[in-house]
Structure 1
């Protein structure tokens, strides 16, 4: 998750503004009229943008400077946190979660949680349950196998073409990402490794110069990382390390132009990365 101001729940999500903030009382009409009268002839604003006592009809209005606010996106941070909880098994398939309850968990209002959950609904991770919240989609082994097949149909031809056209030095530039994935796998955290795994595949496919391809493959990859219903919460550390080691082997095969090895490694990687 992106770094941000520490919230009350210690999640890195800024706390929601305190409720019950006082609103300054509105000025009475009589006071407004009195102030307007005092301002005549002295150039005081009358509250409507006009200025009394000055001839301004021939002047070009000067716009007020707009303050540029630089602040992290709460919705984006919540979306990252929910994706991490989903991959890590903290959000159980089949369970319904309400936006207010999740908001309390993250120390924010229900609004950014609801918006983030709507995004997850468009991605197929959850479904809307009217008047209750959002249910985590229950996925089986068949769906996972279908995703692996689609990923192979898309990525294998691209990687084979890249193996023929990309210089070996370019593949060497991606080695730090592959080594980072190995370190992430060694931590045993499924969510941490999932992000590193996607980063590596994203960097490889980016060499094709097709942004639409990268986005579609990213979406399929993310869906393939969601946990199965009734399955283990997380794969074992040894499984993650073995999966990450395939990245290094794939780089070696791509640099050497070993097309059959590339095809075999990619297909096996897709089938075993769920």
Structure 2
């Protein structure tokens, strides 16, 4: 019985964390919005323990902020915060591409190796979905596929710590970006959509082209947020 209870609590913890993260990324939980463990527990009809654990997990990821006296709140990130996130992401991806160019094990297999082809095909499918969502201006769908795209791309390096770190950075940067992007009534044609180009560059083992594409994506996102901040 106790084992089942642990599994149930762990599942609830993850479900609540996933639901709240999605609410933040969808812009339904606005910056500065504060809430308590009791409030969320009542909302979901569960006990306080899995809720508290879920909120602590989200605050550790930078999706929520914890306050000893007020509970938890959605962080209010500034444009300067976003610049720092972009810089951090760039340092990570540049390091990844430099390692590939220097002969990282992920690139030691022949380009036509079935394992490499299969892995890139999966990443490419995520990229295609992300591009369709970007073209349609569907920010919620884009975020989901973009996060999966980068998560699966980082798996190719065989380093789970690297993948987790990059995923955290990308989640945080999306939390920051949506606070600005949700102000636009129509995002069609405004969002970067070069995911498959990046996959093709990596399939060719062209790390310089991959770095150029990522730099262009970061510059595009930053310029868009700067324009919105000035308006």
Q: Same fold (TM over 0.5)?
A: yes
TM-score by length of 1: 0.65
Q: What is the alpha-carbon distance in structure 1 between the residues aligned to residue 175 and residue 64 of structure 2?
A: 11
Instruction: From 202, 205, 210, give the equivalent of 2:154.
Output: 205
CA deviations 1:103-131 (Å, max 9, x no partner) are 33333333322221111222223223334
TM-score by length of 2: 0.75
CA deviations 1:139-183 (Å, max 9, x no partner) are 111111111111111112313543672644433453222123234
Q: What is the alpha-carbon distance in structure 2 between the residues aligned to residue 173 and residue 80 of structure 1?
A: 23
Instruction: From 66, 69, 84, give the equivalent of 1:128.
Output: 66
Q: Equivalent residue for 2:89?
A: 151
* Runs of 5+ unmatched residues, structure 2: 223-231
Larger RCO (CA within 8 A; separation ≥ 6) = 2
CA deviations 1:43-98 (Å, max 9, x no partner) are xxxxxxxxxxxxxxxxxxxxxxx786365711100000010111111111122112
Q: What is the alpha-carbon distance in structure 2 between the residues aligned to residue 173 and residue 184 of structure 1?
A: 17
CA deviations 1:180-207 (Å, max 9, x no partner) are 3234446644333222111111222211
Query: Cα distance 1:273–1:76, how it changes in 2: closer, same or farther (>3 A)?
Result: farther
Alignment coverage as a number of residue pairs: 207
8 A contact 2:21–2:63 mirrored in 1: no
Greater radius of gyration (CA): 1
Instruction: From 39, 57, 73, give the equivalent of 2:11.
Output: 73
Question: Which one has the bigger helix percentage?
Answer: 2
* Runs of 5+ unmatched residues, structure 1: 1-65
